[in-house]
């Protein structure tokens, strides 16, 4: 977050941490599972900056973003289990 504040350049961060994705991102690109993974969904994150974990947890939109991400992950996990 410090690098972005100084440079304001676009950066890509790969994470499996839903909370970290919401904290850092302006857009979260959700990928499908597997070696042939594709973009499954793109979720814009419209939260004020600078962001802190404490402020994030207190913001009402945070829980909507988290629910959207978790639902996507659960649906794709179920699809992978069904396909196996």
7-45 pLDDT, tens digit each: 888 888 899 999 999 999 999 999 988 888 899 999 999
Q: How far apart are CA 80 and CA 77, in angstroms?
A: 5
Total-model pTM: 0.82
Q: What is the pLDDT, as a whole number, of residue 5?
A: 79
What integer is the mean pLDDT of 62-81?
A: 88
Q: Is the pLDDT of residue 78 over 80?
A: no
Q: Is the pLDDT of residue 1 over 90?
A: no
């Amino acid at each position: 977050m410090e690098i972005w504040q100084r440079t304001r350049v676009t950066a890509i961060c790969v994470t499996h941490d839903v909370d970290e994705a919401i904290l850092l991102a302006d857009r979260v690109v959700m990928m499908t599972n597997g070696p042939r993974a594709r973009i499954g969904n793109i979720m814009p994150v419209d939260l004020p900056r600078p962001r802190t974990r404490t402020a994030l947890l207190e913001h009402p939109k945070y829980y909507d973003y988290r629910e959207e991400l978790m639902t996507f992950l659960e649906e794709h996990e179920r699809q992978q289990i069904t396909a196996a």
